[in-house]
Amino acid sequence: MVLQERSLTLFDKVWSSHVVTGLAGGVSLLAIDRHLLHDLEGGASLRRIAERGLKVHNPELTFGVPDHAVATAPDRRADSTPNSSRLLRELKEGSEASEITYFDLGTEGQGIVHVIGPELGLSQPGMTIVCGDSHACTHGGLGALSFGIGATEIMHVLATQTLRQTKPKTMRIALEGKLAPGVAAKDVILATIGRIGTDAGNGHAVEFAGTTIRAMSVDQRLTVCNLSIELGAKIGMIAPDDTAFSYLAGRAYAPKGEMFDRACAHWRTLPSDDDARFDVEHTIDAATIAPQITWGTSPQDVIAVDQRIPDPTRETDPQRRQAMEAALAYMGLTPGEAIEGTPVDWVFVGSCTNGRLSDIREAARVVAGRKVAPNVRAWVVPGSESTQRAAEREGLDKIFLSAGFEWRKAGCSMCAGINGDTVAPGQRSVSTTNRNFVGRQGPNARTHLASPAMAAAAAIAGRIADARKLG
């Protein structure tokens, strides 16, 4: 049989080079290059496989870090929150027993699992990376095939360093054009979700491409890929290029010297071939995107900050209309009114979406020399200990503190409220996170997703505000 030279996508190349063997029914046994454990499931998963008498197959490819349950108060300790002491102990002791690298509280490696992966150079192009957390899609910003898994799959990876997976379809989202001033990566991805819907990527591995993406920094690409799961796609990827390679050079866990060059030569073969075919293609004009803010309880419920809150009575699909009405009731918003000017109680800058150094700089630029409005509580929670230290070296902590923000320790914090950092019932928050789901930031908390600059502007104005007007 003569094999036809086929044009392949980035996703196809990484997938097929990791197939250990094909199983029945179109399922592949996929080799996993990096397995990242966090405090919620990590320790329990290690315990469960030990109870079954199994060993960790490749401890050198497995890394553990506490993030979801950790306290973020400046004087925090492992036992600062009631649940964290048990979860952290279990993960730490389980990691030690299995010879897994564990990034403990108080060390530079600690932070949100999807922030530290790229930051430490653990996440690299062409890798398969999994984590018991759906925002594992973030690492795709460096050209990795990375996705979230559940508790049973975590055990499968621990015991076998593989996963049984059905190959998804492929989708390319081409983002074209130069971003307008004051428009962030977060705005681009929120606008994209608003345009094509929160289930558009279901069953697909998405590649973000186009001139807008090529011009982005790695931090910005990580933000875009972070919200792939909010498009319904568990995998989001961006072709690795010189921007990605220079980002990785010199990072703690990235290859060094000659090995870096060898890795780089491999990475250069990964981008999709010019004539590669995707099952679905979308093209979005990114030049026209304005700063975004969500109004509802799904990331697709999003508008530009200068737009009006949508009116459900204009919606023809009855199920969609009901969902809009329920979302507006939950959010306490009136259809037809301007969203700008809506008073807010909380501002949260952080998370695996927007907790990196560049995000904190963006927020600081808006905050510098100004004061947080008296009706607002505002927090910055850096995505990692090393981000925090870098920001402090630049004096960014001072800018926030003197404006009236709290400057806290690294973790997931108010993104999901698991450590007890929550927004009170009925209160409204502008948050740089990725989910505005019902109850996500606490029971009856009202979450508006936005970029770091927009969140900072809301803190200063005390209301939803257009960051561009603050300059």
Partner 1 sequence: MEKFTRVTGIAAPLMKANIDTDVIIPAKRLVGHQRGELGAFAFEAYRYRPDRTDNPDFVLNLARYRGAKILITGEHFGCGSSRESAVWALAGFGFRCVIAPSFGDIFTNNAFQNGMLLIRLPKEQVDRLAAEIESGSTPAMTVDLQSRTVTAPSGAETPFEIDAERRQALLEGRDEIGMTLARDADILAFQERDRAARPWIYQTGQTQVS
Q: Which amino acid is at 197?
A: G
Q: Which of 2, 3, 5, 60 binds partner 1 (CB under 8 A)?
A: 60
> Which residues, in sequence order, are CB contacts of 242 under 8 Å at separation 6+?
none
Q: How far is the CB of 119 from ligand SF4 (least distance, A)?
A: 14
Looking at residues 209 to 268 of the shown chain, list those that interact with partner 1 (rule: CB under 8 A).
229, 232-234, 252-253, 255, 259-260, 262-263, 266
Site string for partner 1, 155-194 (x = CB under 8 A): xx--xxxx-xxx-x--------------------------
Note whether 144 and 124 are within 8 A (CB). yes
**What's the CA gap between 117 and 150, in Å, rounded?**
19
Note whether 291 and 261 are within 8 A (CB). no
Q: How far is the CB of 51 from partner 1 (least distance, A)?
A: 12
Site string for partner 1, 419-458 (x = CB under 8 A): ---x------------x-xxxx--xx--------------
352 binds ligand SF4, rule: CB under 6 A: yes
Contacted by 109, from ligand SF4, partner 1, none: CB < 5 to 8 Å by type: partner 1
Looking at residues 98 to 117 of the shown chain, list those that interact with ligand SF4 (rule: CB under 6 A).
112, 114
Q: Which residues pair with 285 in a beta bridge?
A: 176
Contacted by 112, from partner 1, ligand SF4, none: CB < 5 to 8 Å by type: ligand SF4
Note whether 117 and 36 are within 8 A (CB). yes
- What is the torsion angle, in degrees rounded to the nearest 10, for the CA atoms of residue 69, residue 136, residue 434 and residue 361? 90
3-state secondary structure of 117: helix
361: burial class by Cβ within 10 Å (0-12, 13-18, 19+)? middle
Site string for ligand SF4, 407-436 (x = CB under 6 A): -----x--xx----------------xx--
Q: Which residues pair with 378 in a beta bridge?
A: 347
3-state secondary structure of 360: helix
Q: Select 166 or 246, whichever has its Cβ closest to partner 1.
A: 166
Q: Select 212 or 388, whichever has its Cβ closest to partner 1.
A: 388
Alpha carbon distances (Å) from 237 to 31, 103, 165, 198, 218: 18, 26, 18, 17, 12
**What's the CA gap between 374 and 290, in Å, rounded?**
28
Q: Select 45 or 433, whichever has its Cβ closest to ligand SF4.
A: 433
Looking at residues 267 to 326 of the shown chain, list those that interact with ligand SF4 (rule: CB under 6 A).
none
Looking at residues 327 to 366 of the shown chain, list those that interact with partner 1 (rule: CB under 8 A).
none
Q: How far is the CB of 351 from ligand SF4 (least distance, A)?
A: 4
Looking at residues 33 to 92 of the shown chain, list those that interact with ligand SF4 (rule: CB under 6 A).
67-68
312 binds partner 1, rule: CB under 8 A: no
Nearest residue to 279 (alpha-carbon basis) of 173, 169, 192: 169
Neighbours of 211 (CB within 10 A): 14
3-state secondary structure of 229: helix
* Chain positions contacting ligand SF4, by CB under 6 A: 67-68, 112, 114, 133, 135, 351-352, 412, 415-416, 433-434
